[in-house]
Structures are given as C-alpha cells and as structure tokens.
Amino acid sequence: MAIAAAVAIVGCSKPAENRIWLPDGTPDVNAEIVVDTTLDLKHDGFMIKDTPDGRKVMAKTDIGAMYGTYALQRLERTGKADGELDIREEPSYERRILNHWDNLDNTVERGYAGWSIWHWGEPVPVELIKEYARLNASVGINGSVLNNVNATPEILRRDYLERVAEIADIMRPYGVRVYLSVNFSSPAQLGGLPDSDPLRPEVQEWWADKVAEIYGLIPDFGGFLVKANSEGLPGPQDFGRTHADGANMLADALKPFDGIVMWRAFVYSPKSSDRACQAYDEFAPLDGHFRDNVLIQIKNGPVDFQPREPFSPLFGHMPNTQMMAEFQITQEYLGFSNHLVYLIPLFKECLDSDTYCKGEGSTIADITTGKLYPDVYNTTAIAGVANIGRDENWCGHHFAQSSWYGFGRMAWDVTLTAEEIAQEWLEQTFTSDPDFVEPVLDMMMTSREAAVDYMMPLGFHHIFAWTHHYGPEPWCDIPGARADWLPKYYHKADAEGVGFDRTRAGSGNVDQYHEPLASLYNSIETCPEELLLWFHHVPWTHRMSSGRTLWDEICHRYDRGVKKVREYQAVWEQAKPYVDVERWEAVRAKLEIQESDAGWWRDACVQYFGEFSGMPVPADVEQPERPLEELKKIKLDMKHHN
C-alpha cells in the first residue's frame, strides 16, 4: 500500500521513548513535545514556539500534541521551519468529518478507488485502518462516518456494531471518532415495531435503547448522519411529521452521551417545480425548531455537487440553527478518478461566498464556524464525501489525493488559500524544486475551471448521462422518469435560447438569496457569466462580455477546456525528471483519458446544442470529428472508467 503520497509523511519513524503516549507513526521532529492541561487552547489546538530552552510543541491534550507534531513536520518538509517560530493554531471546525459512502457488501457508492477499506464481512484490516487514521490525523481530520448515507438498517445490528467498535478502537489513538449513517425506518425494519413514527413513545424508546447499546461499545461514538425523505429513503414525512420532528427524536437519544445528529438537507420536494428551491422550501421554515445537538448538513450548492453551482441559499436563512457544509471529495460529477481536478478552489468558492444575511461580509465560512452566530453554535462541523478505497494509491488518481489532503487542511484552517494548500501538498508529495512546483501548481489551480469549460460552462448543469454521471447526455429523455432527474429539465434548450429561468419571472429562485445578490442574479445584464445559464434562459444571440454571441462563447469555452487539458499533458511531460517512473506513467495515462473525455464532451454538446441554435461552430474552434449520432451511442466501459 503506497501510504506516503496521500499526505506526504514518507519515512516517519516511531516515537522516541519519552513520547510513547503519541500513536504509532507520529513523526519525530526537532522539538520537545509538551502536554500541559492548563494551556488556554480549544479543540485540540497547539502551539509551536522557540524558547530559551529550545523549540517546543505544546498542547493541552495528547491529540493536540500529535497535531502540532505533524504541523511542525510539515513546516520542516516545506522549508518553513527555519528562523524563530511562534505559532498558535486552533481548528476552524470542531468536527472535521469524512463521509464514507461504503456499503456492507464492500462496494462504495460513487467511489472510484476500489472496494471499501473497512472489509465488511472479512477479518478487520488493522494495519490498513491504522494507516488511514494516521493519514487523517496528519491533516487534522477527526471523524469518519463509516457507511453510506443510503443506509441499511443492518448497520445497527449487534454484530455490525461490534465490528464498528473494533474499527473505533484502532482509530481512537489518532483522534478519529466514528459515526454511522442510519436508516430512519430501522425501528420497524430491524426492531419489529409497527412503524417508525418519531413521535411514538415506542419508537423513541427503541432509539434510546439502541443509542445506549452503541455507547456501551463505543464510549466516544460521534453520532448519526441521516438522509431522510430523499431519493426514496424513509423519513419523518412518511408519518406526517417534519424534518425537525425526526432529527429531534434522534438528538434526544444521543444528548446524554454528547452525540450529534447531522441531518442532510438534500431533498426532492414535490412542492416546488425547481430543484434548486427545494432544500430552502423545506428547511427554512423550520429554523429554530431543531435541538442544540442537531446540525443541518447542506451541500455546497442547491442541486447536487455540480462542477459549478451558486452556493445553497439555505446557508443565509437559518440564523437560529446550526449548519454545516457538505462537500464531495470523490469526483462523481468531475471525471471520477480519471480526471485531474483539484477541488479545493471549488470548496473555497463556497465557503468564501458572501450571503449578506447580516450585511456585507456574512460568508458561509463565518456562519458555519459559528463566528456570525456564536450563541447558536454549540459545536461546529464540516463534511467531505470521501474518495478513498483499496486502490494502492488510496484514491484512484495520484492527484485526487490532494483533495483529501486539502479538505483536511481547509477544515483545520479555513483561512488557508487553495494555492497554499496545493503547494504544500506538491512539495511534500513530489519535490520542492520550483521548476516542478510552479508549472504543476498552475495545472492544479486551473484544473477545476478547465473541467467546467469542457463539461458545463457558463452555468450549464446536470447534463450528465442518466446512468453514470460521467459523460455528456444532454439529449437524454426517459419516459416515466422524474423530470428533475433528466438533463433537459436543466438546460431547457429551444430555438430561442438555453438555460433555466430562475428569475422573478421564472421559478423565483433568485429571491431565496439576500440583496444585493437577488437583484444581481435576476438581471441578465449583471448576473455573473459563470452562472448565466443557471439563472437565465438566454437567447443564442445574446452579446457576452467577450463581444461574442452566447452561442460562439459556448463553443469557445468547450474548446478552451479541451486545449487546457492538452497543456496539462505538455506540463506533465516536462515534469518527468522530477517524478518516479510509476507515478509519472500513471498520471500520464490518466491525462490521456481526460483529454479524450474532454473532446467527447465538447463534440457532443456543441453539436447537440447547435441543433437548437441553428448556428455554425465558429471557424476558430476545433471542429467536431465524430457525428453526434455516433457520440450518442457511446456506452461507458465502467471497468475502464472506474
């Protein structure tokens, strides 16, 4: 198992004898490690100081000392440990959690790096889980939801809970707590009750007993993640109850043990004709109705982890409720583990967004870290959907490791820039030689924008293939399927133009945002062009800031994305002297797939939308080589692409 590359901790030795309280694998650093319970530090924070007695890593807890040791190692490896150090760090979020979408049959939903690392039904892989926990600890991740949000009740069976307790025992020394996704119908399906109505005393008692059983096995169990009344999963609305009724019932059971409920706001409400409105419509009216150990877990955008979305308006409208952001580290809509797409710019784009909920400067980061509403937030949390599997490089693509690493670093310190994180990952994972770092860093930092260009520029969204979310399928039309699961629902292309009208004259989604954003988005003249087709149905001849028509701009954006990937191929060729043969060849092969896929996206979308615009592909854009009908027949080879 190639451990080192994911978080760049190659060659770590075991702790010296005077540091035996640190877990296996904690690096040796040039400092004295001090634990002082009287220090004024929060949430396993630490200090690194040069004193007259020498350099010291100081913390209030053993786990804080471990985090400080990894931080000093990072400084040493990136050449920043010289000179006098005076560092104090406390994490931005108290709970920094990976959501694994692993199933009990060892498959991983939307996972592109092989089978589940938990080895359900097999002997517990102690060393593998220990290395996983160590990697998380090195970047500050302190929680893991072990199973899929599309949970089965069986995870709460005694035999599975005993298995979870074994995993928790392995990860505990590294400060990583376990959480579980639960199925809301478990009292009926697993406990034999007539139903799972959250207001029935028998149901409440069943959950209280189950929670007590869990804590009897796992004293530091973190709590539950719940997906309810979404995509067919059961929930409180099945019994005429609200999301607050369901979340609060579980919260009451967990409260005596300091456990939390992370209740996902990913819903498909039949009440609104616009998917982008539905989470707001269901949850905003419930503001202030949730217990103080409930956090509403909200995807970064209002639809579904698209390459680009505006931020979810729900973040700006629940001032009396604890909220946490959910990001997708696994690249469900960004080329699986085949495309080089560094995701921290996407995550930061959301967290740095200004909601204007308390005037200018009301960022999502300031809301979710509790800074804006300190009296509301008893705990703070952030979640990332894991991209980890049994592949030798953990994530299926060597550069996909940077998004796991980056999520941890960003969750620890939300003020870090995406570029700072990328550079420290590159220098630790490959080399600090600027002839390598500078061009490859530029490749990473532009990769998300390139993917947007060759997949869905200018606010296009959810025009993926129905079955696999990998390639383009804007033409998809399946009789009997829900409209809002199909691409045509989102692009609405016709002879006049293209795009989803979410203005006040359309679905009204713009008014879920505070001013000045609502009016900014409502006007076709002031709406940011990156979101133009998200909020507007735009005429093909609309004049863009470039001077081109919308149609010509669409073609140029698709073509620009393809050409950018070709630039990456050239950059990687020049990087060959700095990278070992195995990793260099693996990345080269992935870039070849990415370039082919980018061309597939461009040629399919340009030709398909060209049928509506009736306008030719501009002469300065590479002309499609394969006809649209041929591209429509492509069947994805999942063995090749997964």
423 and 318 fall within a common domain: yes
The answer to whether 585 is a known catalytic residue is no
- Please report whether residue 253 resides in a domain: yes
595 and 468 fall within a common domain: yes
Domain CATH for 614:
3.90.1330.10
41 and 100 fall within a common domain: no
* Length, in residues, of the chain: 642
- Establish whether the linkage from the previous residue to 516 is cis, with ω within 30° of 0: yes
Nearest to 554 by CA among 497, 597, 506: 497
User: Which residue has 């920094």 as its token pair?
Assistant: 96
478 and 616 fall within a common domain: yes
pLDDT at 621: 96
Burial grade of 222 (CB within 10 A; 0-12, 13-18, 19 or more) = buried
Q: 332, 366, 453, 595: which one is catalytic?
A: 332
- Please report whether residue 221 resides in a domain: yes
178 and 327 fall within a common domain: yes
Contact call for residues 491 and 533 (beta carbons, < 8 A): yes
246 and 159 fall within a common domain: yes
Q: 36, 162, 209, 231: which one is catalytic?
A: 231
pLDDT at 15: 35
Task: List all residues 6 or more positions away from 219 whose beta carbon is below 8 Å from its beta carbon.
Answer: none
The answer to whether 154 is a known catalytic residue is no
How many domains does the chain divide into?
Answer: 3
103 and 69 fall within a common domain: no
Consecutive sets of 10 residues in the chain, 642 residues long: mean pLDDT of each?
30 34 88 96 97 96 97 97 96 98 98 98 98 98 98 98 98 98 98 98 98 98 97 95 98 98 89 91 97 98 98 98 98 98 98 98 98 98 98 98 98 98 98 98 98 98 93 92 90 98 98 98 98 98 98 98 98 98 98 98 98 98 95 72 40
Contact call for residues 253 and 247 (beta carbons, < 8 A): no
398 and 438 fall within a common domain: no
- Please report whether residue 511 resides in a domain: no
Domain edge (last residue) among 52, 69, 89? 89
pLDDT at 573: 98
320 and 354 fall within a common domain: yes
Contact call for residues 166 and 120 (beta carbons, < 8 A): no
| Alpha-carbon gap, residue 146 to 506, rounded angstroms | 41
The answer to whether 231 is a known catalytic residue is yes
29 and 111 fall within a common domain: no
pLDDT at 270: 65
- Please report whether residue 526 resides in a domain: no
- Please report whether residue 409 resides in a domain: yes
**Strand 46-51, strand 143-145: pairing:** unpaired
- Please report whether residue 496 resides in a domain: no
Q: 292, 304, 354, 419: which one is catalytic?
A: 304
Domain CATH for 58:
3.30.160
User: Which residue has 């025009």 as its token pair?
Assistant: 463
567 and 630 fall within a common domain: yes
Contact call for residues 111 and 101 (beta carbons, < 8 A): yes
Domain edge (last residue) among 429, 460, 478? 429
Nearest to 329 by CA among 450, 209, 411: 411
pLDDT at 466: 85
467 and 400 fall within a common domain: no
Contact call for residues 151 and 185 (beta carbons, < 8 A): no
Domain edge (last residue) among 89, 117, 151? 89
State the SS3 of 284-318.
HHHCCCCCCCEEEEEECCCCCCCCCCCCCHHHHCC
- Please report whether residue 226 resides in a domain: yes
- Please report whether residue 499 resides in a domain: no
Question: What does 134-188 look like in DSSP terms, one character per residue?
Answer: HHHHHHT--EEE-S-SS--GGGGSHHHHHHHHHHHHHHGGGT-EEEEEE-TTHHH
Domain CATH for 359:
3.20.20.80
Lookup: tokens for 496: 């006049």
Domain that holds residue 132: 95-429
